[in-house]
Amino acid sequence: MCGIAGIIQSGPKHGSDTLERMTAALAHRGPDGKGIWQNDSCTALLGHRRLAILDLTAAGDQPMHFHNPQTGARYSIVHNGEIYNYIELRKQLQNEGYRFHTQTDTEVILAAYDYWQDECVDYFDGMFAFAIWDEEEQELFAARDRFGEKPFFFWKQNDTLLFASEIKALWAAGLPRTANLKMLFNFITIGYTGNPADPQETFFEQVQKLPPASRLYFNAADGYFSIEKYYEIDPDEQNLRMTDTEAIEKFRSLLDASVKRRLRSDVTVGCSLSGGLDSSAIATRIHDLQPNNPLHCFTAHFPGYEKDELSYARLITTPRQLPHHISVLSDADLPEHWQMFMHHQEEPVGSASAFAQYMVFKLAAENQVKVLLDGQGADEILAGYHKYYKWYWQELFIKRRLLRSKEIIYAHKLGITEKFGFKNVMAALFPDLASVILERQYLVHALQQPDLHRDFIRLQSKEAYYTTPEIHSLNGVLHFNTSTHGLDELLRYADRNAMAHGREARLPFLSHELVSFVFSLPAHFKIRQGWTKWILRQSMDQQLPTAITWRKDKTGFEPPQLQWMLHPGMQQLIRDARQKLVDHKILQQSILTRPIEASTAYSPLTRDWRYLAASACL
């Protein structure tokens, strides 16, 4: 994992000094080395900050170059991320006559591009954002991984393209920092951190991002520019014949294969361990696959908090005698680190959960553990959140199986409080109408926000949006949250939090082979007898303590946000944020005298938290 930057232009408008500033802004992403390169005509400039994970020698430095004597192709690359199946691909390409001079995955990308051209991304199992300059064709090719684990931001104007791993590198190049008020309106009113209808949009004017699973082409000489999608999940394509035993065995096999590949590293690998099912499953599989290697586990601890999960994390580490590093967080930590935390995040964060993750990676850096495997992604592909119950129940209702399945009864016995009433019946029978009503309700809610300045509402509400899944089934909403809106927010948090401390986060649940398989399974493999993530629980039933696998009171990772917001330091930050938003005519003057409303991370009313996070964009 690294930081990349580049300038593609028709003439020498920007020089190496601009690129130097861009790469310097990404120094935290790559503390192990830096490099810049430009071609003779100064139409292509590439910069790189290196976090050395594979082949720690100078041979792995970037920008990296490739020359094929037979085709005459000449490529230069900057790459951020990991291609986990690079060993298998290297062998395949060697059989085609390619020779390699490093032990890096980056060199494999270059050879794969030479051989398969833009279809090379179809062969990659990994998290990546890379850009390849073709000196012969004078064209840039860039691509981002299927789910958006690694970032790629860009600014384009006529015959010039600037790109980077983080927005701050574009600012360093001279791009003005101007907030996107439409995005801020939707964040403040409904909590959206992205625009599902326009995945290229960011919280800053003129700055765009390459969407997940997308390829970018740019030729400065003729102005050709194109972005296209290369991967899509079909949530309707399901295997109805697979038995429980077959599905569990296949799931376990794919998860193990994913974990094994994500353990490939020339530096120490550890694990984020929250105490929940997902991270516990990953930690257990790592230990079982590498029992002789001490697995360093990292856990956030909130002393005195009723939802603290350290005791559950210790159910994994203590019996296996795993090195366990604990980040003890207090209410004073958030105000102390807030400014730097948001400097790295750049865009608003929805809750304090992201900050707890930031501090876990800080602890990993202090213990010289460069790579952490994590359980993120499981909730989105396996229906881990309680909000998914209603979608499953509506699907069963339409199929006339709801009463017979007793799923509502099972869920309520487990303590689930979700209800299924008249509105759910109508949503199941008339999903398109329900979507329209929901969109209108959210717009009305946005227009009625009492704190917002009238001019701000008038100008920004014209483009307000609320998006619902196009496919009205459990698989449909999981697809929406995985590929359109939801997971991308969490992946942004993870990337910035890890890279803020020069660490790498790897997510085994986001192997595209595993994800595609899970989506091919009918809904009852995700939710059954009231249990979410049913197939994961079954696959880990004999490997994890029952207290973790079949825990009834688990609702998601949640820090004591309400308590933290009551700290005097946070109260002052919120007052300052309110004043800033008033000065920008986003909030009304009256907000300055209203008492601060502290809220939990999962509260539907988090106005003051949103004001605090939104002000960081201004």
Average pLDDT over residues 267-277: 97
> Under the phi-then-psi rule, with left for phi > 0, alpha for psi from -120 to 50, and beta for the rest, what region is 559?
beta
Instruction: Give the contacts of 346 (CB within 8 A, at least 6 positions apart).
Output: 166, 167, 168, 203, 496
Average pLDDT over residues 371-375: 98
d(CA 510, CA 84): 12
d(CA 327, CA 189): 33
Instruction: Give the contacts of 229 (CB within 8 A, at least 6 positions apart).
Output: 211, 213, 214, 215
Q: pLDDT-based confidence at 438, cuts 50/70/90? A: confident
d(CA 392, CA 533): 13
pLDDT for 441: 80
What pTM was computed for the model? 0.96
Average pLDDT over residues 138-152: 98
Domain range 3-229, CATH architecture: 4-Layer Sandwich (3.60)
Average pLDDT over residues 389-410: 96
The answer to whether the Cα torsion of 513, 519, 524, 530 is positive or negative is: positive
Give the amino acid at 535: I
Average pLDDT over residues 438-445: 78
More confident residue, 218 or 197: 218
Name the phi and psi angles at 564, rounded to 5.
-65, -35
Give per-residue pLDDT as tens, 307-329: 999 999 999 999 999 999 999 99
Instruction: Return the domain boundaries, the chain.
Output: 3-229, 244-381+484-558, 389-482, 562-615
Burial of residue 426, with CB atoms counted within 10 A of its CB: 0-12 exposed, 13-18 middle, 19 or more buried: middle
Q: pLDDT-based confidence at 72, cuts 50/70/90? A: low
Domain range 244-381+484-558, CATH architecture: 3-Layer(aba) Sandwich (3.40)
Length of the chain, please? Answer: 618
Give the start-end residues of each E strand in 222-328: 224-229, 269-272, 296-301, 324-328
Give per-residue pLDDT as tens, 220-256: 999 999 999 999 999 888 999 999 999 999 999 999 9
105 and 77 in contact (C-beta within 8 Å)? no
Give the amino acid at 151: P
SS3 469: coil
d(CA 126, CA 87): 12
Cis peptide before 63 (omega within 30 of 0): yes
Give per-residue pLDDT as tens, 284-314: 999 999 999 999 999 999 999 999 999 999 9
d(CA 486, CA 198): 14
